[in-house]
Structures are given as structure tokens and as C-alpha cells.
């Protein structure tokens, strides 16, 4: 086990476990309340698997009304609540605590309405991200945010963390594609915010709830913006002698007035590992590569790729490979998309998620190398270059506690460096428990207190996902903040 602390469980709540479970069973009948230790174990962690906490109980309601009754009950009883989608958070956003009840939305996964003319879709939030696009793809529509975990992750979790993906440069992140929610408050009220009409007046509570890391209440339904698919899409792969050259080419492409749907960067180590795994035909002599994808009709794609190719060559690209068939396109993406899996095959790793101003790429890459060299750790860099979101994968050995501690420390130093160059701690994974203690490097105490006051406005008793986002030592101050 490692460095990130969780609050001590409240023994008074632990002592009332049977009573609380009985209370939940009054509200959610049948298999919706998970009580046995064996079954609860499936919920003791999320994708930040180094941390595990057995929850007091797990409840999986089937309706918004049940969610409302559960929240009202737990709030009245003073029991902490951990909201959960699919549990794919890389930041520990869904990590339980021993004195908390996990409230999951996985049984609420229906598509409620699709309106192609209005380009909207209403879903229950337990549906997976891919399930949303899957329900409309035959109509030629899609839902734009596409986090790598999209096969498993839920819309509820996407809203909680304001998830991104590889295509944000053109299509934005969750908050830009979310039009309305049904939101259950801590008091068990059911509130509709937004809907299928754009830009509700009043304070932008929708924008506030999106990305609140499940700390305000539970979102059970969502109205999503859906988009018509482009006529086609095609990636091109460029090899560069160095990371600097690839970074400069990214800036030059965007500077030339071209905004591709995606620009993905991989450094030498990432190339080696991914090529070894995926046999994607990546240029092994390159110091870095870029995958640039554009959309449109075939002739439009040709024209855009020609422009991009010119810019890339002017910035030192040593090789270019355009996909001419769907199979070639898939091969180019295969290496990138399997990067995390490929990495996992050769080593344990922690995946960082800072964002930087893209112009500072060479500087930050040098700094990352320095930090990891000093810690005697290997690092591979994968980067959503167009939008500045950096994913350094710091490799370590899970069986060696010293190695993990070093990797966590190096990861923190990398994020601090991101903040120092004008970026941020997390671009799309969220703060969770992982970056909680680092928040003071990006925000002043006053700024954090202001955010904490906003939480108190929704959840005066600090019961909803309480040990996340804010440094633990500040939590004693919450009353003062409010």
C-alpha cells in the first residue's frame, strides 16, 4: 500500500452497519443492496488499483426515485456516500471508504429518447460511453467525447469527471456536449437542469455540476448533444528526428489555420513499446511521431493532408505515411490505442495527466526526463498534442514498494512542472485522491476555500464523495470556509 491517506472511518457509523443496510433494503428491494463481503469486494477500488477500501455497503438503485430516497436516507443518517459509475477512474475518484455506502448507477442504463432533428439524446447515466454512440451510429450520428475507457466507463462518470478523449481539439469535452441533467440533491430532491433547449438562463449549474467529481449529488439522466458523423476520416503518421521537431510541427499546423480532429504524439520509448506490441509499422528510427487525423470527404481529406504534410516537412518530418485503406488507418491507430495495454505488458506504470501550453512541450519533456532519470525510472510520453494534454507513463515495479513510492513522487514532480509552465494538474482524469494534496500547488488557499464553499452549498454535511479533490488537512477548515 502506498502514500495517499484516507480519513479514519467513523466507528459510530461502522457500529450501525446492520441498521443502515436494513434501512437501504427498505428503499431498494431485491438484489439492489449488496451486503456480503464477497460481493462488496468488487467495489473496493477503481482503476487506481493500488488503493482499496471495503465499503460499508453497496446500493444499486433502478430508478431516479430510488436514488433520491437513498440519498435522503443516508444524508439524514449522516453516512458518507461514494457515487459510482463503472469504477474506471484513474484518479481514485470512485475509491470507497469503510464508513461509506457506494451508490452505483449501473442498473440505470437505458436510452430514453433520440431526436435526430434536434441532435439530442436522453439517456440514463449508467449507460456506457460507447453504448451511447452505439445506439445512434446506424443513423450516422455519434457522441463526441471518447475517453480511452469508453467501452466500460459510464456517462455518469464522464459527467462527474468532465471526461475528454482524443478528439477534444475539434469537439470539446463532456461539458461542451452536455445539455441537461436530472440531478438528485442530498436532500433527495429531483431537479431538472437544462434539457433539450440550449443555454438555460440563471447560473450555469449544469456547467458547475459537470466536473464536480461526484461531490454535489448524483446525476441519473442526461441530455446529450449528438453530432452527424463526418463523411470520412483518415490519419497520417509523421516521424520526426526529435520531440522538439514534433512539437514545433504541431504548433505550425495549428498556426497555419488547420484544426485537425486529433494530433497525437509519442516519444521514442513509447514508439518502441507500442511497435513491439502492435506491429503498426511505426518509424523505428524516429525520435518522436505524430498521428494527425482529419475528417471530410475524400478530396477534402487529400487537400488537408497535403497542407499538413507541407507544414510537417518544413518542420523536419523525416517520414510520412498516409493511410490509403481502412486497414492501414486502423494499423496507425492500433499502436496508439493499445499504448496503455502494451505498456502494461512490460511493466507496471502510473499514468499522469497534466496539461501544458503546447509551446512548452520541449521544455517539459526535458524536465520529465530529468525527473525520471534522477529517480532511476523509465518514462514513456504519450500526448494529445493538439490540446496540450500530456500522459507520461512512469514505469515501476508493483512488487517493490520503494519503486512505487519513487514513481508516485516523480509523477507529482511532473505535475508540479506542468503547473509551473502555465498548465494544470489534470486535463481529463480528475483530481480524485491522486492529486488531492497537490491542489495547493495550483490554487491558493483562498481559491480552494471558495471551491469548498461551493461544495458546502450542495452538501453542507460533506457526505458526498468527501475525501476527494481537496487536501485532507483543509477539510477540518470546511466549516470555517462556509
CA angle, corner 375, sides to 359 and 271, nearest 5? 55
- What DSSP line would sit under 95-130, residue for residue? ---TT-EEEE-TT---EEEEETTTTEEEEETTSBHH
In 3D, which of 346, 120, 381, 378 has the Cα closest to residue 226? Answer: 120
- What DSSP line would sit under 20-67, residue for residue? HHHHHHHHS-GGGEE-SHHHHGGGS--S-TT-----SEEE--SSHHHH
Rounded Cα gap, residues 289 and 225, in angstroms: 33
Tell me whether residue 207 or residue 281 sits nearer to another protein (CB atom).
207
At its nearest, how many Å lie between another protein and the CB of residue 104? 22
At its nearest, how many Å lie between another protein and the CB of residue 50? 21
At its nearest, how many Å lie between another protein and the CB of residue 78? 20
At its nearest, how many Å lie between another protein and the CB of residue 55? 25
Tell me whether residue 263 or residue 270 sits nearer to another protein (CB atom).
263
Rounded Cα gap, residues 306 and 416, in angstroms: 38
Q: Which residues pair with 128 in a beta bridge?
A: 154
Tell me whether residue 281 or residue 449 sits nearer to another protein (CB atom).
449
CB 213 within 8 A of CB 432: yes
Tell me whether residue 26 or residue 192 sits nearer to another protein (CB atom).
192
What 3-state DSSP class applies to 272? Answer: helix
Tell me whether residue 60 or residue 431 sits nearer to another protein (CB atom).
431
Q: Which residues pair with 178 in a beta bridge?
A: 224
At its nearest, how many Å lie between another protein and the CB of residue 393? 18
Rounded Cα gap, residues 109 and 326, in angstroms: 32
At its nearest, how many Å lie between another protein and the CB of residue 3? 20
Tell me whether residue 331 or residue 351 sits nearer to another protein (CB atom).
351
Which DSSP helix (H) or strand (E) runs through 237?
strand 233-240
Tell me whether residue 211 or residue 287 sits nearer to another protein (CB atom).
211
At its nearest, how many Å lie between another protein and the CB of residue 460? 9
At its nearest, how many Å lie between another protein and the CB of residue 467? 16
Tell me whether residue 60 or residue 301 sits nearer to another protein (CB atom).
301
Query: 460-482 burial by CB neighbour count: b if 16+ within 10 A, else e?
Result: eebbbbbbbbbeeebeeebeebe
339 CB neighbour count, 10 Å cutoff: 24
Amino acid at each position: 500500500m502506498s502514500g495517499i491517506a484516507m480519513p479514519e472511518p467513523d466507528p459510530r457509523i461502522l457500529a450501525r452497519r446492520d441498521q443502515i443496510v436494513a434501512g437501504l433494503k427498505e428503499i431498494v428491494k431485491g438484489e439492489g443492496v449488496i451486503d456480503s463481503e464477497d460481493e462488496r469486494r468488487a467495489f473496493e477500488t477503481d482503476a487506481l488499483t493500488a488503493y482499496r477500501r471495503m465499503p460499508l455497503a453497496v446500493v444499486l438503485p433502478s430508478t431516479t426515485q430510488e436514488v433520491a430516497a437513498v440519498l435522503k436516507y443516508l444524508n439524514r443518517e449522516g453516512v458518507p456516500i461514494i457515487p459510482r459509475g463503472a469504477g474506471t477512474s484513474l484518479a481514485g475518484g470512485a475509491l470507497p471508504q469503510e464508513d461509506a455506502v457506494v451508490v452505483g448507477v449501473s442498473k440505470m442504463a437505458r436510452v430514453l429518447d433520440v431526436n435526430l432533428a434536434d441532435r439530442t439524446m436522453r439517456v440514463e447515466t449508467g449507460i456506457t460511453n460507447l453504448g451511447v454512440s452505439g445506439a445512434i451510429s446506424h443513423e450516422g450520428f455519434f457522441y463526441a467525447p471518447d475517453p480511452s475507457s469508453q467501452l466500460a466507463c459510464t456517462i455518469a462518470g464522464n459527467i462527474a469527471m468532465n471526461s475528454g478523449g482524443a478528439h477534444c481539439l475539434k469537439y470539446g469535452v463532456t461539458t461542451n456536449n452536455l445539455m441537461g441533467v436530472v440531478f438528485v440533491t442530498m436532500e433527495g430532491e429531483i431537479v431538472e437542469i437544462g434539457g433539450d433547449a440550449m443555454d438555460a438562463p440563471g447560473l450555469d449549474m449544469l456547467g458547475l455540476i459537470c466536473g464536480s467529481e461526484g461531490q454535489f449529488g448524483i446525476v441519473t439522466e442526461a441530455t446529450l448533444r449528438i453530432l452527424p458523423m463526418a463523411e470520412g476520416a483518415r490519419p497520417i503518421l509523421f516521424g520526426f528526428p526529435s520531440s522538439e521537431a514534433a512539437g514545433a510541427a504541431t504548433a505550425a499546423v495549428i498556426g497555419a489555420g488547420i484544426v485537425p480532429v486529433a494530433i497525437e504524439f509519442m516519444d521514442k520509448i513509447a514508439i518502441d513499446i507500442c511497435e513491439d506490441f502492435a506491429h503498426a509499422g511505426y518509424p523505428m528510427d524516429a525520435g518522436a511521431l505524430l498521428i494527425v487525423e482529419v475528417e471530410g470527404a475524400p478530396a477534402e481529406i487529400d487537400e488537408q493532408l497535403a497542407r499538413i504534410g507541407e507544414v510537417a516537412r518544413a518542420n523536419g518530418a523525416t517520414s510520412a505515411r498516409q493511410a490509403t485503406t481502412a486497414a492501414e488507418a486502423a494499423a496507425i491507430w492500433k499502436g496508439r490505442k493499445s499504448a496503455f495495454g502494451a505498456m502494461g505488458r512490460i511493466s507496471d506504470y502510473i499514468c499522469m495527466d497534466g496539461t501544458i501550453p503546447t509551446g512548452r512541450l520541449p521544455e517539459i519533456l526535458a524536465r520529465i526526463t530529468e525527473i525520471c532519470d534522477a529517480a532511476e525510472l523509465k518514462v514513456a510520453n504519450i500526448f494529445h498534442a493538439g490540446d496540450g494534454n500530456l500522459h507520461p507513463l512512469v514505469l515501476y515495479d508493483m512488487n517493490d514498494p520503494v519503486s512505487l513510492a519513487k514513481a508516485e513522487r516523480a509523477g507529482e514532480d511532473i505535475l508540479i512542472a506542468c503547473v509551473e509552465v502555465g498548465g494544470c494538474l489534470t486535463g481529463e482524469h480528475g483530481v480524485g485522491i491522486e492529486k488531492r494534496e497537490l491542489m495547493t500547488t495550483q490554487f491558493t488557499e483562498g481559491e480552494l476555500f471558495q471551491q469548498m464553499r461551493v461544495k458546502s452549498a450542495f452538501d453542507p454535511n460533506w457526505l458526498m464523495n468527501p475525501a476527494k479533490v481537496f487536501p485532507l488537512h483543509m477539510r477540518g477548515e470546511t466549516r470555517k470556509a462556509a
